[in-house]
Amino acid sequence: MLISLTEENYLKAIYSLSHLEADADVSTNQISDHLSIKAATVTDMLKRLAEKKLIHYIPYQGVKLSEKGKSTAIKVVRKHRLWEVFLVDKLQFKWDEVHEIAEQLEHINSDELIQRLDKFLGKPKFDPHGDPIPDANGQLNIVKAIPLNQHKTKGSFTFVGVAEHSKTFLQHLTSIGLKIGDAVKIEEINEFDNSFKVKINKTNSQFFSNKVASNILVEEKK
Amino acid sequence: MLISLTEENYLKAIYSLSHLEADADVSTNQISDHLSIKAATVTDMLKRLAEKKLIHYIPYQGVKLSEKGKSTAIKVVRKHRLWEVFLVDKLQFKWDEVHEIAEQLEHINSDELIQRLDKFLGKPKFDPHGDPIPDANGQLNIVKAIPLNQHKTKGSFTFVGVAEHSKTFLQHLTSIGLKIGDAVKIEEINEFDNSFKVKINKTNSQFFSNKVASNILVEEKK
DNA sequence: ACAGGTTTTTAGGTCAGCCTAAAAATTTGT
DNA sequence: ACAAATTTTTAGGCTGACCTAAAAACCTGT
Ligand SMILES: [Mn+2]
Ligand SMILES: [Mn+2]
Ligand SMILES: [Mn+2]
Ligand SMILES: [Mn+2]
C-alpha cells in the first residue's frame, strides 16, 4: 500500500502530538493547528487514514495511530533526523538551517537509501538538535532530559537538547555560544524573575531568562 | 513562481526530447510516450506550462522550452546527476541502482543544498553514466562521444558514456567488466552481423553485438 | 483533391487535497 | 439543567493531474 507525502505528514503530526500528553487521543483541532490546515480538511483526511487502517478514529473523540501508522510515522522521523545529521555533519549546514530541507528529504522513498545513509553517517543516535534517531526497527532511546528551569537548586548538568526548534531560538543559543554536549552549571537562580545565572563549560557565565531556560533540556551530569 | 514536481518532469522530458533532433519542436505524442501519460493529459499540461511562460506552445505544432523553462529543466538535470554521483561515490550504490532514487531527489528544492552537495562531491563534471553535469550557471560540456558501432575501422578509444540507461544494459556492461574510462580497442569488425571484437584495457577481448556496440559511447583516445 | 490514417485537441469525468459556510455534537459556566 | 461557546463534522466548491471517448486538424498517397 502506498502512502502519499501528505498522508505521511498527517501521520507524523499525529505521532508528535500524541507525545504531548501520555496516551491521550489527538484532536482534529490540534492537527489542524499543527499543520495549518483547516479542521474540515483534517476530518476528511482522518476518514481516509482510518479507511487505510493507519489510525483509529472515533468521530468527535479524536485519533490514535494504529501499529502500521505508528511505524510509518517513526520511519519518517528516522529519515528526517538522519538527513539532518547528513546536512550538518557532511554539508556543514548550521543546526538552524536544516529543518526545512529535511522536511522535503524525509519523504524520499527507498529503504536501501536510508540503510546506506545511516551507515555512511556512522549510525548516529541523535540528530543535531539532540533528538533521538529511531533505529531500523523503529526503536528509539527515550530521552529523560528535563528543562533547565525545572531545576530549583544549583547543580551541574549537560546540555542534551532543545524543547523549541525555531530558527530564532537556535540562533539565539548559537550567539550565546551554547552547543549540544556543553557543560551547564546553575550558579544562581534569581527569585525575582526566575532567571538563571549559568556557567557554560566552566568558563563564561551567562544570564538565561526563564523562557530560554525552559527550552534548554539538560541531563544530570555523570 | 512555484513549479510543481509534475511540471518539472514535463520540462525535463521536453528538454531531453528536444535534443533528439536539433532544434525541432517536441510533439505532444513524444511527451506522452516518454512519460507514459495520455496525449489528452499532455495537451492540458502544455496549456498550463505555456500560461506560466515556461514553454512556447503552438497548437497542433508542438512545443519548445522558453529560456525560463530551459533553465528550470537544466537545474533539475543538474540535481539528478549530482545526486547520482552522491549515491555512487558516497553511498556505494552501483550505477544501475541510482536512477529511480535520483528521480525523487531531483525535486528537492534548495539552492544552498545543491551548492553544498556539489562542493562536497568535488564539483564533478560527469555523472556515473558519463553524462555531463551542468554547472551552477546551467553550462554543460557537450559530449562529442560517438557510438562504438559507428566506427568502421580498427582503432583505440575511451569508453565515456552509455546511450541506453536501462538497468539491464548497465548490468550487462558490469558483467562484461566494462566501466566508464576503460580503454576500448576495436580488434575486428565482423562483416556478417556487424559485431565487434573488442579488447578492454589491453587485457581481455570480448565480442559485442552491434546492438551493444551502438549503446557504448566512445571518444578518440588521446 | 480528397479518402484514410494519424495526431492533437476538446469535452466531460474522477480523485486527492485543499477551502468556506453551515449544521450538529460536545463541553463549559452559571 | 440548560444557554452559550467551542469543537467537529457535513455539504458543497475548487484546482491540479490524471483518464476515456469523440471531434477536429493535419498529413499522405493515389
Ligand atoms: Mn527538523
Ligand atoms: Mn531535528
Ligand atoms: Mn538517471
Ligand atoms: Mn545518469
Residue A110 has pLDDT above 90, yes or no: yes
Q: What is the pLDDT of residue A86?
A: 99
Q: What is the pLDDT of residue A126?
A: 97
- pTM here is 0.95
Cα–Cα distance for residue pair A149/A38, rounded to 1 Å: 35
- Banded model confidence at residue B21, pLDDT cuts 50, 70, 90: confident
B29 and B59 together in one domain: yes
Q: What is the CATH number of the domain that holds B163?
A: 2.30.30.90
* Strand D proximal to A44 Cβ, under 7 A: yes
Q: What is the pLDDT of residue A94?
A: 98
pLDDT tens figures, A168-216: 999 999 999 999 999 999 999 998 999 999 999 998 899 999 999 999 9
B179 and B162 together in one domain: yes
Residue A23 has pLDDT above 90, yes or no: no
Cβ(A101)–Cβ(A87) below 8 Å: yes
Cβ contact, residue pair A120, B87, below 8 Å = no
pLDDT tens figures, A120-160: 999 999 999 999 999 999 999 888 899 999 999 999 999 99
In the listed set B96, B120, B139, which residue is the last one of a domain according to the structure?
B139
* Strand D proximal to A50 Cβ, under 7 A: no
Range of the structural domain that residue A135 is part of: 74-139
Residue B174 has pLDDT above 80, yes or no: yes
Scanning chain B, the segments in alpha helix (DSSP H) are 5-17, 28-35, 39-51, 67-85, 99-105, 111-120, 167-176, 210-214
What DSSP designation does B109 have?
A: -
A61 and A81 together in one domain: no
Q: What is the CATH number of the domain that holds A123?
A: 1.10.10.10
Mean pLDDT of chain B: 96
Q: What is the mean pLDDT of residues A104-122?
A: 98
B116 and B158 together in one domain: no
* Strand C proximal to A29 Cβ, under 7 A: no
Q: What is the mean pLDDT of residues B104-121?
A: 98
Q: Which nucleotides of D are covered by protein (CB under 7 A)?
A: 7-12, 16-22, 25-26
Cα–Cα distances in angstroms (integers) from residue B45 to residues A47, A96, B2, B104, in the given order: 31, 38, 15, 20
Q: What is the pLDDT of residue B141?
A: 86
A158 and A134 together in one domain: no
Residue B222 has pLDDT above 80, yes or no: no
In the listed set A124, A139, A154, which residue is the last one of a domain according to the structure?
A139
Which residues of chain B are within 8 Å of residue A91 when distances are taken between CB atoms?
A: 113, 116-117, 120
Percent of chain A predicted with pLDDT > 90: 91
Total number of domains constituting chain A = 3
A87 and A44 together in one domain: no
B15 and B32 together in one domain: yes
pLDDT tens figures, B47-104: 999 999 999 999 999 999 999 999 999 999 999 999 999 999 999 999 999 999 999 9
Q: What is the mean pLDDT of residues B19-45?
A: 95
Measured CA B125 to C1' D23 distance, in angstroms: 50
Residue A5 has pLDDT above 90, yes or no: yes
In the listed set A139, A157, A175, which residue is the last one of a domain according to the structure?
A139
Cα–Cα distance for residue pair A157/A218, rounded to 1 Å: 6
Cα–Cα distances in angstroms (integers) from residue B104 to residues A1, A8, A50, A182, in the given order: 18, 16, 27, 38
Q: What is the mean pLDDT of residues B108-132?
A: 98
Q: List the grid coordinates of B200.
A: 578492454
B17 shares contact with chain A (CB less than 8 Å): no
For A:54-113, CB contacts with B below 8 A are 87, 90-93, 97, 100-101, 104-105, 108-110, 112-113
A158 and A214 together in one domain: yes
Q: What is the pLDDT of residue A219?
A: 95
Q: What is the pLDDT of residue B151?
A: 93
Q: What is the pLDDT of residue A204?
A: 86
